[in-house]
Copies of this chain bind each other. A is one copy, B any other.
Amino acid sequence: MIRASVVGATGYAGAELVRILSGHPEVRLSMLTSHQYAGQLFSDVFPAFFQRVALPLEEFDTRKLAECSDVVFMALPHSMPMTMVPELLQGGCRVVDLSADFRFSDPFAYEVAYEPHRAPELCRHAVYGLSEIFREKITGASLVGNPGCYPTCILLPLLPLATPGWLDLSRVICDAKSGVSGAGRGVSLATHFCEIAQAFKAYKVGEHRHRPEIVNVLEMVTGEKSRLTFVPHLVPAIRGMLATTYVSLREEKSEAELRERLRDAYRGNDFIRILPENSFPDLSHVRGTNCCDIGLRVDRESGMLILISAIDNLVKGAAGQAVQNMNIMWRLEETMGLGALPPVV
């Protein structure tokens, strides 16, 4: 049994980790930390888990974590993990960090997007945890930088079409939409039910920090310079994310060829579902699952390729992919503990 701990267990991603790991047949939950709720039970904070998860919430404690954990999942805001991870690694744990701190192999790239890095030497040892793309590197990793939700949703359809040079990466437009849980569990007027329930808006227009992450991976994988216009929007739904990406084809390709390329690239990857002709993703179809659904259209008038992809931001976009990465690191069945079916409704 893998002994797993969750640091920051009371945010939405952390709690989703607890939920998924609780049902994982090869995992025993060891320690849950929460600064805000230390001393309470996890199920005091999430009463839905009354009589289901019995663990207490504790203050962060490197030594204790290192002793009781084979893997530590970090579910904290960026800038915190980079001060904690070095000692956890020294203590012998493997770490999956869900923040942005270890998503850039170049600490300067991190600094441009965020702030000066305080563990720069670790950056190049961390593996970017986009499971289907970097599986081999993840296997041997001791530190995985789990991808952002938008990068996961946007890169999965783009990469297999970009690597053969089919796409004009100099002008990619990505119009993305996220459910409200993406804003986290912190309280704010911006997530007040009354302000959201019949609203829809763009936010961080052209300024979201997931843009450099996406561009970074796109350029690293293709070796091409890329320019991405990225506008995220807030959907009045609890979970889920859908991205509509517009990109020109360098050479004419039929929808069938493009779809076939995606199918080839993801054959054997149960979580990536390439939808048939005239089918497009709906975020309700991936809710609660670790799936990324992908549909595409070549627009008959403009010739533009339209890629539409959807994930559950808390699962494939956070906790689910983190557990998938753990499965890869321990060479378990990659879908283990992640088999939940979507709700009928």
* Contact surface of A with B, Cβ cutoff 8 Å: 12, 15-16, 18-19, 22-23, 46-52, 171, 173, 175, 177, 179-181, 185, 187-189, 191-203, 205-206, 211, 227-229, 231, 233, 235-240, 242, 244, 246, 270, 273, 275, 279-288, 293, 295, 297, 299-302, 304, 306, 308, 310, 314, 339-345
Cβ A12 vs Cβ B194 within 8 A: yes
Cβ A302 vs Cβ B229 within 8 A: yes
Cβ A197 vs Cβ B197 within 8 A: yes
Could you say which residues of chain B place their CB within 8 Å of the CB of A199?
Answer: 237, 282-284
Q: Determine the distance from Cα of A258 to Cα of B47 in the docked complex, in whole angstroms.
A: 21
Q: Which residue of B lies closest to A282 (CB)?
A: B201
Q: Determine the distance from Cα of A171 to Cα of B299 in the docked complex, in whole angstroms.
A: 12
Q: How far is the CB of A157 from chain B (nearest CB, A)?
A: 13
Q: Taking A19-B344, A47-B285 as given, write out 7 further A-B residue pairs in contact, using a Cβ cutoff of 8 Å, ordered by the A residue number.
A: A12-B344, A23-B339, A50-B275, A187-B189, A187-B192, A200-B283, A205-B280
Cβ A302 vs Cβ B344 within 8 A: no
Q: Which residue of B lies closest to A286 (CB)?
A: B48
Q: How far is the CB of A275 from chain B (nearest CB, A)?
A: 7
Cβ A48 vs Cβ B302 within 8 A: no
Q: Which residue of B lies closest to A345 (CB)?
A: B194
Also in contact, A198 and B279, with CB within 8 A (given A297-B205, A301-B211): no
Also in contact, A235 and B236, with CB within 8 A (given A193-B191, A201-B280, A299-B206): yes
Kindly identify which residue among B175, B193, B286 contacts A244, using a CB–CB cutoff of 8 Å.
B175
Q: How far is the CB of A108 from chain B (nearest CB, A)?
A: 17
Cβ B343 vs Cβ A288 within 8 A: yes
Q: Determine the distance from Cα of A181 to Cα of B194 in the docked complex, in whole angstroms.
A: 6
Cβ B238 vs Cβ A341 within 8 A: no
Kindly identify which residue among B23, B185, B237, B301 contacts A227, using a CB–CB cutoff of 8 Å.
B301
Could you say which residues of chain B place their CB within 8 Å of the CB of A231?
Answer: 244, 306, 308
Q: Determine the distance from Cα of A277 to Cα of B277 in the docked complex, in whole angstroms.
A: 42
Cβ A198 vs Cβ B238 within 8 A: yes
Q: How far is the CB of A84 from chain B (nearest CB, A)?
A: 23
